[in-house]
Amino acid sequence: MTVKQLSLPELVEACGQLGVVNVGLWREPVQAYGLEATAKLVRDAGLTVTTLCRGGFLTAIDPAERAGALDDNRRAVDEAAALGTDTLVLVSGGLPAGSKDLHGARERIADALAVLGPYAEERGVKLAIEPLHPMFASDRCVVSTLAQALDLAERFPARQVGVTVDTYHIWWDDNAPAQIARAGASGRIHTFQLADWTTPLPEGVLNGRGQIGDGSIDMREWKGYVEAAGYAGAIEVELFNDQLWARDGRELLAETAARFVEHAG
Amino acid sequence: MTVKQLSLPELVEACGQLGVVNVGLWREPVQAYGLEATAKLVRDAGLTVTTLCRGGFLTAIDPAERAGALDDNRRAVDEAAALGTDTLVLVSGGLPAGSKDLHGARERIADALAVLGPYAEERGVKLAIEPLHPMFASDRCVVSTLAQALDLAERFPARQVGVTVDTYHIWWDDNAPAQIARAGASGRIHTFQLADWTTPLPEGVLNGRGQIGDGSIDMREWKGYVEAAGYAGAIEVELFNDQLWARDGRELLAETAARFVEHAG
C-alpha cells in the first residue's frame, strides 16, 4: 500500500531493482490481479510475502453480518496461505452503528477469534491483531492499545493469535514498551510495521501516515524494543498518504528504502 | 468556547435566560473583553466561573521560551483568581520542533509544575492537568492518558495539582475508569468535561468535538465513574466544532443544555 500507485508487476520489478526481497501485500490489489497470478508473480521473482493485510472487522452484532465477516476472514486466511505468508493482519472493526459499547465489541472479536484461530492454524497462518491509534476507536478498530490486543490474543495459543506492532499507532503510549516485552515473551509479535507521525492530520485521518524520518517517532528506539523482545522477523514500512501516493511510485519506493536504512537500518 | 460566537455579555444573558448558573471561560475572550470587566459581568449576573482554560504549554527546551511560558502561566493563575474560580486547566504542550523525546517533554512539565503549583496555591487556584487524546501527542499535549496525568500530578499536593477528566479524550481507554477512581481517591478530579466523539474527524482534528448525544460516548456511564470517585463539582460541556460555531449561538446553547439534561442529567 505504500506504493499503491504501482501495479503488482511494477512493484515486483521495482523491488528487484532495489534489492528488496520481502513485500507485504494487501488483499484488494491481490484480488484484482488474481490470487494465483500474484502468487506466481512473487514466487517467480523470489520475493517473500511477509504478511497479508487485512482481515478483521469482527464487531458486528447482526448474525448475518457476523457470518459474512467470518466467511470473509476464512477467505483471507486461504489467500494468505496461497501467497505463502504465515501472517494475516487483523483490523478488528469499530462500533456498530448506534452502539456505544466498546467492551461488548471487544468481546465479539474474541468470539470470532475462537472460530478463526483454529481455521488459520490448520492452514499454517497466524492472526496478528493490530491495535490502531485511539483516533480510530469508533469507526475502524475498538482495539486501541497493545495491552488490549494482548488481552485478546492471550486467550488463544500464540501459534494462532498474536499482535501487530505498528509504530504509528502506539508511539504515544508510555506503556507500549512493556507490552512489547509481554508480547515477545509469549512469541506473539507476529509482525512489526513502521510509519512516522506527522501533522496536521488530514480530514478523516486515515491517509496521514508519514514517511520514515519526517515525523515525531524515533524508529530506532522502537526497533530496539521489538528486537529486545526477541523479534527477528521482517520489518514492514506501511504508509498511507495521499501526498506520497501522488508521486512517482518507483521514486517513492526508492526513497522509502533509503529512509529505512537511514532511520531503522 | 462551546458558543464562542456569542460575546461575553450575550453569553451571560443567554445563561440567565436558560437558568444556567455555572460557566467555564477561556482566557482569550476574557482578555479581549477585559479581566476586571469580565469578573464584574459574571459577578453581577450571579454566575459562578467553574474553570479558566487554559494554561500550560510547558514543554519548551529553550530557556527563554520556558521562562516566558512560566510567566504566562502565572498570569493565567492571576486571571483565574480574579474571575473567582479555583481551577486553571492546563494543556501541557507538544514536542518541541525536531524533538522525538516524549519522556523528556513530560519531565519538563513536572519541572514547571514545581514552580507553578505553589504560586497557584497561594492564590487559591488548583492546576488541572488535562490529558488530551493521543492524536494530539506531538503538537499539543504529550500527556495522553489519565494515568500519565496522575503520574505527574501525584508528585505534588492535590490542593496544587490534579487532573481534568474529559470524556472526549479518554473514552477509548479501558484503563480510564480505574484512573478516575485513582484520581478521586486523592481528591484530584479538579473538573469534569463532556464532549462526544463523532467522525469523520476534520482536517487538523482540533474542531471535531461532537455535541452531546451525537456520537459514540455514553455520557451517563462516565458521569457515573466520576461520581463514584467522589466528584460533586460542576460538569462542563466543551465543544469545539466549526459546524456548531456556524449556528446561532443562543440556539446552540439551549440545545446543549437540553442535550446535557437528556444524556447526562
The ipTM estimated for the assembled molecules is 0.96
Output the CA torsion A6→A7→A11→A14 (10° steps): -70
Strands A161-166 and A209-210, bridge-based pairing: unpaired
Neighbours of B200 (CB within 10 A): 12
Mean pLDDT, chain A, whole residue set = 98
B251 in any annotated domain: no
Contact A142, A102 (CB under 8 A): yes
| pLDDT confidence of residue B98 | 94
Cβ-Cβ contacts under 8 Å, B175 against chain A:
147
* Distance in Å, alpha carbon of B7 to nearest chain A alpha carbon: 30
A1 in any annotated domain: no
| pLDDT confidence of residue A187 | 98
* Distance in Å, alpha carbon of B169 to nearest chain A alpha carbon: 9
**Are A201 and B197 inside 8 Å of each other by CB?**
no
**Are B144 and A173 inside 8 Å of each other by CB?**
yes
CA B135 to chain centre: 17
Give CA–CA dist A106/A58, Å, rounded: 9
Nearest to A134 among B106, B172, B199 (CB): B172
| pLDDT confidence of residue A205 | 95
Nearest to A134 among B100, B133, B202 (CB): B133
A173 in any annotated domain: yes
* Distance in Å, alpha carbon of A168 to nearest chain B alpha carbon: 11
Which chain B residue shows the shortest CA-CA distance from A142? B172
Nearest to A100 among B100, B201, B217 (CB): B217
| pLDDT confidence of residue B184 | 98
Cis peptide before A202 (omega within 30 of 0): no
Output the CA torsion B1→B5→B6→B8 (10° steps): 50
Give mean pLDDT, residues A136-165. Answer: 98
- Cell numbers at A192, concatenated: 512489526
Predicted confidence (pLDDT) per residue in B73-94, tens digit: 999 999 999 999 999 999 999 9
Cβ-Cβ contacts under 8 Å, A199 against chain B:
138-139, 204
Which chain B residue shows the shortest CA-CA distance from A198? B138
* Candidates B132, B172, B196, partner chain A, best to mutate (most A CBs within 10 A): B172
DSSP state of B135: G
Structural domain including B143 reads 24-195+211-238
**Are B197 and A138 inside 8 Å of each other by CB?**
yes
Residues of chain B contacting A, Cβ within 8 Å:
95, 99-103, 106, 133-135, 137-139, 144-145, 147-148, 171-175, 197, 199-205, 215-218, 221
Q: H helices of chain B, where?
A: 8-18, 27-33, 35-44, 63-83, 102-122, 146-153, 167-170, 176-185, 219-228, 242-245, 249-264
**Are A102 and B174 inside 8 Å of each other by CB?**
yes
**Are A200 and B204 inside 8 Å of each other by CB?**
yes
Residues in chain B predicted with pLDDT less than 70, given as ranges, are none
| pLDDT confidence of residue A14 | 97
Cβ-Cβ contacts under 8 Å, A215 against chain B:
138
| pLDDT confidence of residue A241 | 96
- In this structure, what CATH number is given to the domain that contains residue A173? 3.20.20.150
A3 in any annotated domain: no
Give CA–CA dist A88/A119, Å, rounded: 12
Q: pLDDT band for position A28 (50/70/90)?
A: very high
Contact B154, B187 (CB under 8 A): no
Contact A41, A8 (CB under 8 A): yes
What DSSP string describes A172-185? Answer: T-TTHHHHHHHHHH
Predicted confidence (pLDDT) per residue in A32-80, tens digit: 999 999 999 999 999 999 999 999 999 999 999 999 999 999 999 999 9
Which chain B residue shows the shortest CA-CA distance from A134? B172
* Distance in Å, alpha carbon of A244 to nearest chain B alpha carbon: 17
Nearest to A201 among B135, B144, B145 (CB): B135
Mean pLDDT, chain B, whole residue set = 98
**Are A138 and B215 inside 8 Å of each other by CB?**
yes
- How many domains are contained in chain B? 1
CA dist B77 → A82, A99, B124 (Å): 64, 41, 9
Predicted confidence (pLDDT) per residue in A230-262, tens digit: 999 999 999 999 999 999 999 999 999 999 999
- Cell numbers at B264, concatenated: 447526562
Predicted confidence (pLDDT) per residue in A115-130, tens digit: 999 999 999 999 999 9
| pLDDT confidence of residue B102 | 98
| pLDDT confidence of residue A158 | 98
| pLDDT confidence of residue B23 | 97
* Distance in Å, alpha carbon of A80 to nearest chain B alpha carbon: 31
**Are B205 and A201 inside 8 Å of each other by CB?**
yes
Which chain A residue shows the shortest CA-CA distance from B173? A144
* Distance in Å, alpha carbon of A210 to nearest chain B alpha carbon: 13
Q: pLDDT band for position A198 (50/70/90)?
A: very high
Cis peptide before A54 (omega within 30 of 0): yes
* Candidates A59, A101, A103, A135, partner chain B, best to mutate (most B CBs within 10 A): A135
A2 in any annotated domain: no
**Are A135 and B133 inside 8 Å of each other by CB?**
yes
Bridge partners of B164, per DSSP, are B191
What DSSP string describes chain A? Answer: -TTTTS-HHHHHHHHHHHT--EEEEEHHHHHHH-HHHHHHHHHHTT-EEEEEEEEE-----SHHHHHHHHHHHHHHHHHHHHHT-SEEEEE-B-PPTT---HHHHHHHHHHHHHHHHHHHHHTT-EEEE-PPPGGGTTTTBS--SHHHHHHHHTTS-TTTEEEEEEHHHHTT-TTHHHHHHHHHHTT-EEEEEE-EE-SSPPTTSTTBEEPTTSSS--HHHHHHHHHHTT--S-EEE---BHHHHTS-HHHHHHHHHHHHHHHH-
